[in-house]
Structure 1
Amino acid sequence: MRWEVTMPFTSILSLLNTQAADSIASVSRVTAVDACSSISVIHAVLKKESQGLLHTFNMTETCYSKEEEETIDRVLNFTTERGIDNATIIQRFDKISEEYDEVQITIRWTGPQWMGESVACQYPSNRGNIRILDVAAGTGLVSVELRKHGFVHIDGLEPAERMLEQAKKKNLYERYICDMLGDNTLDIADDTYTAVTMSGLSREIMKKLPVKALEELARVTKPGGHVMMNSYDYNFESEILRANLANLESRGIWKLESKQARQHISNGVGGLLHIYTVL
């Protein structure tokens, strides 16, 4: 029997402090993802030495196939490494673009579905005339869900060109904008969209999003429109992100309308959704 996680073992070790990681390695000698006998040891060390990080993982007795385990371990370890810069993150997502959708299905990532449902709740009518910008569009998973609810005017913003190419194959966006959300000004006119969505932005990018990036989200959104973002709950714990989100609210640029939580957004890991009304 194998253990199932939302991150591969090597990524878990990278999130732990050195002492906890050394404890796990020395006690359990885990060398493969199917080392089910080490579950109790890993749990014990995590609880003792890294209690605050335990909620980011879901270790169960549900089994993956060997092929699924290998794919998940390789892809997630490649894209969730801590401390890598934005350029490296983009390059890595380009390299795994053809496998991305398969991995999201396997780990039961439901952020896009949640986003589609949430936008539909905000806009129960006239959906055919509403323009939406999907930020961190990736391969277009959010657009797939939005279209199920009758939204058709959707543009995608994504810095990884090959990820956007996957979306193009499925004709998921009207405009494909290959650009980074950061300190730059986006090539988008003011007040263009009724809603802006952002689901599952890379943790390493999200945790340090600058004020300028958030200002750009508000700038391209019509007054009274909404900026909506969801991700794993721990991605919202960044002090930098929290301060910058609050910065825009204190300046009267937007107002936090709703903050919602879900217990399971991917294999038992919790998620948060923030909805901001642009003023």
Structure 2
Amino acid sequence: MIVDKANAALDSVYGADTPESLAQAYAAWAATYDSETASLGYLLPFLITAWVARYVPAGEGPLLDAGCGTGLSGPSLKALGYRDIAGLDLSDDMLKIAGSRNAYGELKQAMLGGPLPWPDGYFRAFFSTGVFTISHAPASGLHDLVRITKKGGHAIFTVRDQVFESGGFQAVFDELTTANKWQLVEQSPWFRCYAIAEPDALVKTFVFEVL
């Protein structure tokens, strides 16, 4: 069954213990990722567009889809009038699929947690879904994402419940707040990231304004 294959693939990416093994897991999953996550009712790439549209008027500058995967968010944002969208992901195989959607002006292979290949204040906003989760990007990756977002711009991202405390997200939030790099604008309640499967898999969306 497709749901069983999707769950097996999720186990593989959540079980990755190095960036290399995570990239390999996504390379193996890339071709069937869209259909298999759809079978689980994966909401986040589509739902995040609501927060983007709430805070970022179309045409105000480039957006970054940080951890874009196969680029599921891009076409929805393009349909909403956003034309200047870049994407980054650690998986070249996923990026190739994202490129086929004709929604991204720029796609780069990069890993959150390291230096990102854009100058300070380049983006009007970044958004990220399903990336700050089990065995994926570290909370420290937020520092460079904030660096490449312009003052007055927005950081819009989800964090999985299972890593929020263990991954030190609140500590990074506090560091950036104390350093006057950003301020909290909105946080959602915890909600399900799969409409069909995995009812206990919860995320929260955070929106910060970059200062």
Alignment of 1:82-121 (within 5 A): 84-121=17-54
Do residues 228 (structure 1) and 153 (structure 2) align?
no
Structure 2 match to 1:145: 76
Match of 1:242, SS state, is: helix
- 1:133–1:107: structure 2 CA closer, same or farther, 3 Å change rule? same
Distance, in Å, in 2 between the alignment partners of 1:266 and 1:164 is 23
Distance, in Å, in 2 between the alignment partners of 1:112 and 1:69 is 19
Distance, in Å, in 1 between the alignment partners of 2:7 and 2:149 is 38
Letter of the structure 2 residue corresponding to residue 204 of structure 1 = S
Structure 2 match to 1:79: 13
Equivalent position to 1:189, from 119, 141, 161: 119
Unaligned ranges ≥5, structure 1: 1-66
Distance, in Å, in 1 between the alignment partners of 2:38 and 2:172 is 32
Contact 2:3–2:40 (Cα < 8 Å) also in 1: no
Between 1 and 2, higher relative CO (CA 8 Å, sep ≥ 6) is seen in: 2
The percentage of aligned residue pairs carrying the same residue is: 24
Alignment of 1:50-69 (within 5 A): 67-69=1-3
Compute the TM-score of the two structures, normalised by the length of structure 1. Answer: 0.69
Letter of the structure 2 residue corresponding to residue 91 of structure 1 = Q
Q: 1:214 deviation in Å?
A: 1.7
Contact 2:119–2:148 (Cα < 8 Å) also in 1: yes
Distance, in Å, in 1 between the alignment partners of 2:101 and 2:90 is 18
Contact 1:130–1:151 (Cα < 8 Å) also in 2: no
Match of 1:252, SS state, is: coil
Equivalent position to 2:189, from 261, 270, 273: 261
Contact 2:23–2:91 (Cα < 8 Å) also in 1: yes
Q: 1:160 deviation in Å?
A: 0.5
Distance, in Å, in 2 between the alignment partners of 1:160 and 1:239 is 22
Structure 1 match to 2:146: 218
Letter of the structure 2 residue corresponding to residue 270 of structure 1 = L
Compute the TM-score of the two structures, normalised by the length of structure 2. Answer: 0.90
Structure 1 match to 2:94: 163
Structure 2 match to 1:242: 170
Specify the structure having the higher radius of gyration (Cα): 1
Match of 2:157, SS state, is: strand
Distance, in Å, in 2 between the alignment partners of 1:76 and 1:214 is 24
Q: 1:239 deviation in Å?
A: 4.6
Do residues 70 (structure 1) and 4 (structure 2) align?
yes
Do residues 173 (structure 1) and 107 (structure 2) align?
no
Letter of the structure 1 residue corresponding to residue 204 of structure 2 = L
Do residues 276 (structure 1) and 208 (structure 2) align?
yes
Match of 2:136, SS state, is: helix
Structure 2 match to 1:204: 135
Q: 1:262 deviation in Å?
A: 4.9
Task: Give the aligned length.
Answer: 206
Letter of the structure 1 residue corresponding to residue 144 of structure 2 = E
Distance, in Å, in 1 between the alignment partners of 2:28 and 2:167 is 30
Distance, in Å, in 2 between the alignment partners of 1:203 and 1:190 is 28
What's the Cα RMSD here?
Answer: 1.7
Q: 1:144 deviation in Å?
A: 2.3
Letter of the structure 2 residue corresponding to residue 80 of structure 1 = Y
* Cα offsets for 1:226-275 (capped at 9, x unmatched): 01101433342335222122211111111111111253321334321001
